């Protein structure tokens, strides 16, 4: 009696264990073939197989769980996790939805979760589901589209009543063995079937492909779920596995599936492997800046420029119009045009000012700071060259020292002035220093230079004329304002020299003077002369005793050639007051006129002196 009860209890326990394993095995087989990267299937598509009976050590590799239904499979943690879910439902029903998720556009690798997505019904009707996945946030997104491509239903239809507990020992044993055999056959069929359905192809592609696809296969396990709509069921096919009768009911497995989901599974995104994007926004290749029109081209290599990127203010010496210098940050095209215009008109530099006129070619380096300053003050005054300090010393005013080297400037037009100037030797040496400095700058900024082939507007053209150095090295190049020793002691000689200069014997040479000498250089020379000249206030009387205004004095002398010196002095004194007023408002032109007057006066005095002597001798 007790033994029968014990055996029946044992049988019931065994039956319960079989049913438990039935649920576990079904979950295992389904989830193992629907959860990418969790499957026991390797990426090559084939498993390393060792038959349990082929080797002696095979028995040691057989796990206890493998003996259930004689199907040696790897562990599936997800199945074990969901076993509790089945237990919650008293092992009555388990639903596994295989969902094909289309990833949103903003998904990233981090969101590609290979793990199984476990969570209860979104409608929260399922109170038995306890597992919530971290992908819940993903599933809450409306932008993610999901589609149930398979629904597996594992049921244990219990047959309640007294029949479950009744049964003799023999029949229960028979039924248990038969049940076990039938369950084995069922799992064989289930194992093959899950690999024949279309969803398995997606699973296989996801597992084997190294690409990150736009779709994700997510199995979800429920203990209870709402049935599918009729529309969905119409499109799906159902496959029933033959139920296996148990002593307390029957075990059923069925599947609803789409017979064709190849359209969704064949779509694949581009590989997410790192790719070099050559034409990103802002890249040099994407949208190179337009070139500057017609600016001098530097013969230096672009690579030597500190800012030699094409999208910057670099240039291409193959192009016709590169910028004069390199600037950063890169300005806009309009700014570049404005810059060009400014460069055309004013090309200041710390050392040189470049004009578009064809004047002595000069490799010009215009640093950014200077250029910007120059642009702000287009009428910038010439920058003095910090020449020898001896030139600025007060002692020079009445001394015979050479004037400082003039600021070298290239005027816009070469025919502006007929003034001539001569650069003394020391000035030429200073200029050489400047050129050497310029050369260094040229080497430093080798990309910035002016060539003859580039700019018609920039006067710094080598081919147009001789170089500045050549010009200023010419010691014979006369300068009307050049104060030589002889001229300092004898102003007349100075005037004479000026007179000579003014009326050069060679017309061609005069033309050269005119072309080469700039108005500014002449003014500078005059200023230098004025500095050296004695103060007009002190010498005015003396000067005007000797010479007056050219016009007045010449007339007076001609008319009153016989007037004595006293008359001359009186006239000079009369004019002294007037001249004092004139001193304040004297300009360079006035100074030049005065100089002419001195010369005329000198001539007159000489002539008068000659006549007086002659008359005296007579």
Partner 1 sequence: MNCEVCQLKELEVEHFEIREVLLCILHTIVFHRALGLVRPKDVDLELFEITYVQCGDVELEEKIDEKIDHFISWVEKHPNKKSQICLSFYEVKSKQPSWFTNKTERLYWEQWYVNLNVTQHPKHHSSKSHHTKVIVDPGESATEERSSRRAMVEASLREVLFQIIKFVNEKKDHVPPISEGVIYFPYEITIPSSSDSAFGMDMIKRMLHNGHPTMLS
Applying CB under 8 A, which residues contact partner 1? Answer: 41, 45-47, 49-54, 62, 66-67, 70-73, 177, 181-182, 184-186, 188-189, 191-193, 195-196, 200-201, 204, 239, 241-242
* Furthest C-alpha separation in the chain: 187
What's the closest the beta carbon of residue 250 comes to partner 1, in angstroms? 13
184 versus 527: smaller Cβ distance to partner 1: 184
Phi and psi at residue 311, to the nearest 5°: -85, -10
What's the closest the beta carbon of residue 59 comes to partner 1, in angstroms? 9
**Alpha carbon distance 26, 93 (integer Å):** 11
Six-digit token pair at 219?
Answer: 């199995």
What's the closest the beta carbon of residue 53 comes to partner 1, in angstroms? 6
Preceding peptide of 92 cis, ω within 30°:
no
239 versus 437: smaller Cβ distance to partner 1: 239
Q: Is 25 exposed, middle or buried (0-12, 13-18, 19+ CB in 10 A)?
A: buried
What lies within 8 Å, CB to CB, of 307 at 6+ separation is 313, 314, 326, 327, 328
43 versus 132: smaller Cβ distance to partner 1: 43
What's the closest the beta carbon of residue 176 comes to partner 1, in angstroms? 12
What's the closest the beta carbon of residue 49 comes to partner 1, in angstroms? 4
What's the closest the beta carbon of residue 65 comes to partner 1, in angstroms? 11
What's the closest the beta carbon of residue 249 comes to partner 1, in angstroms? 18
Helix (H, G, I), strand (E, B) or coil at 155: strand
Q: Is 253 exposed, middle or buried (0-12, 13-18, 19+ CB in 10 A)?
A: buried
265 versus 405: smaller Cβ distance to partner 1: 265
Is 47:71 a contact under the CB 8 Å cutoff? no
In what order do the strands lie in the sheet containing 236-245? 215-222, 93-102, 145-158, 249-258, 236-245
Six-digit token pair at 6?
Answer: 């014990």
Six-digit token pair at 40?
Answer: 């026991």
191 versus 352: smaller Cβ distance to partner 1: 191
What's the closest the beta carbon of residue 205 comes to partner 1, in angstroms? 10
72 versus 522: smaller Cβ distance to partner 1: 72
Is 598:543 a contact under the CB 8 Å cutoff? yes
266 versus 562: smaller Cβ distance to partner 1: 266
Ramachandran region of residue 37, left (φ > 0), alpha (ψ -120 to 50) or beta? Answer: left
What's the closest the beta carbon of residue 245 comes to partner 1, in angstroms? 11
Whether the CA torsion 138, 144, 147, 150 is positive or negative: it is negative
What's the closest the beta carbon of residue 58 comes to partner 1, in angstroms? 9
Phi and psi at residue 309, to the nearest 5°: -70, 145
CA neighbor of 519 nearest in space, from 462, 473, 472, 481: 481
259 versus 393: smaller Cβ distance to partner 1: 259
**Alpha carbon distance 94, 22 (integer Å):** 11
Six-digit token pair at 54?
Answer: 């082929």
**Alpha carbon distance 559, 569 (integer Å):** 16
What's the closest the beta carbon of residue 210 comes to partner 1, in angstroms? 17
**Alpha carbon distance 236, 229 (integer Å):** 11
> What are residue 97's DSSP bridge partners?
151, 220
CB atoms within 10 A of CB 578: 10
Is 415:511 a contact under the CB 8 Å cutoff? no
What's the closest the beta carbon of residue 24 comes to partner 1, in angstroms? 17
52 versus 293: smaller Cβ distance to partner 1: 52
Quote the distance between the C-alpha of residue 65 and its chain's center: 62
**Alpha carbon distance 69, 26 (integer Å):** 11
193 versus 430: smaller Cβ distance to partner 1: 193
13 versus 62: smaller Cβ distance to partner 1: 62
Helix (H, G, I), strand (E, B) or coil at 15: helix
Quote the distance between the C-alpha of residue 317 and its chain's center: 22
What's the closest the beta carbon of residue 241 comes to partner 1, in angstroms? 6
27 versus 458: smaller Cβ distance to partner 1: 27
187 versus 327: smaller Cβ distance to partner 1: 187
């Amino acid at each position: 009696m007790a033994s029968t009860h014990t055996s029946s209890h044992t049988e019931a326990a065994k039956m319960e264990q079989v049913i438990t394993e039935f649920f576990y095995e079904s979950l295992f087989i389904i989830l193992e073939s629907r959860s990418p990267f969790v499957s026991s299937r390797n990426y090559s598509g084939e498993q390393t197989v060792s038959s349990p009976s082929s080797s002696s050590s095979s028995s040691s590799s057989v796990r206890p769980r493998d003996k259930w239904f004689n199907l040696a499979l790897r562990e599936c943690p997800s199945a074990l996790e969901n076993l509790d879910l089945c237990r919650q439902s008293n092992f009555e029903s388990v639903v596994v939805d295989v969902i094909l998720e289309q990833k949103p556009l903003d998904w990233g690798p981090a969101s590609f979760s290979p793990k199984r997505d476990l969570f209860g019904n979104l409608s929260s009707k399922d109170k038995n589901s306890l597992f919530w996945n971290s992908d819940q946030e993903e599933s809450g997104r409306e932008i993610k589209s999901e589609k149930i491509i398979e629904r597996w239903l594992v049921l244990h239809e219990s047959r309640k009543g007294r029949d479950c507990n009744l049964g003799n020992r023999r029949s229960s044993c028979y039924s248990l063995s038969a049940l076990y055999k039938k369950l084995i056959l069922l799992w064989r069929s289930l194992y093959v079937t899950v690999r024949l359905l279309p969803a398995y192809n997606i699973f296989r592609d996801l597992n084997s492909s190294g690409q990150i696809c736009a779709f994700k296969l997510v199995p979800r396990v429920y203990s209870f779920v709402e049935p599918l709509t009729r529309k969905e069921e119409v499109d799906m096919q159902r496959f029933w596995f033959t139920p296996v009768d148990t002593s307390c009911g029957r075990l059923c497995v069925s599947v609803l599936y789409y017979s064709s989901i190849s359209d969704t599974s064949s779509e694949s995104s581009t590989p997410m492997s790192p790719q070099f994007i050559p034409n990103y926004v802002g890249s040099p290749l994407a949208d190179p800046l337009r070139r500057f029109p017609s600016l001098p081209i530097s013969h230096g290599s672009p690579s030597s420029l500190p800012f030699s990127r094409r999208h910057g203010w670099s240039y291409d010496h193959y192009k016709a119009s590169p910028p004069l210098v390199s600037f950063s940050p890169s300005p806009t095209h309009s700014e570049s045009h404005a810059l060009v215009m400014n460069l055309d008109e004013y090309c200041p530099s710390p050392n040189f000012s470049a004009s578009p006129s064809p004047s002595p070619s000069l490799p010009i380096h215009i640093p950014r700071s200077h250029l910007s300053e120059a642009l702000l003050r287009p009428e910038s005054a010439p920058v003095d060259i910090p020449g020898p300090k001896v030139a600025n010393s007060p002692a020079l005013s009445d001394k015979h020292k050479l004037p400082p080297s003039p600021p070298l400037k290239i005027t816009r037009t070469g025919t502006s002035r007929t003034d001539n100037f001569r650069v003394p030797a020391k000035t030429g040496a200073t200029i050489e220093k400047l050129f050497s400095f310029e050369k260094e700058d040229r080497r430093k900024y080798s990309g910035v230079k002016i060539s003859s082939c580039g700019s018609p507007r920039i006067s710094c053209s080598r081919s147009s004329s001789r170089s500045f150095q050549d010009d200023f090295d010419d010691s014979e190049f006369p300068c009307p304002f050049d104060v030589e020793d002889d001229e300092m002691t004898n102003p007349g000689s100075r005037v004479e020299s000026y007179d000579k200069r003014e009326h050069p014997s060679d017309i061609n040479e005069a033309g050269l003077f005119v072309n080469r000498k700039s108005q500014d250089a002449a003014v500078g020379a005059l200023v230098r002369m004025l500095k050296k000249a004695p103060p007009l206030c002190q010498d005015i009387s003396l000067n005007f005793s000797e010479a007056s205004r050219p016009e007045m004095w010449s007339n007076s002398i001609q008319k009153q050639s016989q007037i004595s010196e006293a008359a001359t002095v009186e006239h000079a004194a009369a004019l002294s007051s007037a001249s004092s007023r004139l001193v304040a408002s004297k300009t360079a032109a006035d100074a030049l006129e005065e100089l002419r007057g001195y010369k005329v006066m000198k001539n007159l005095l000489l002539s008068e002196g000659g006549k007086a002597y002659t008359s005296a001798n007579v």
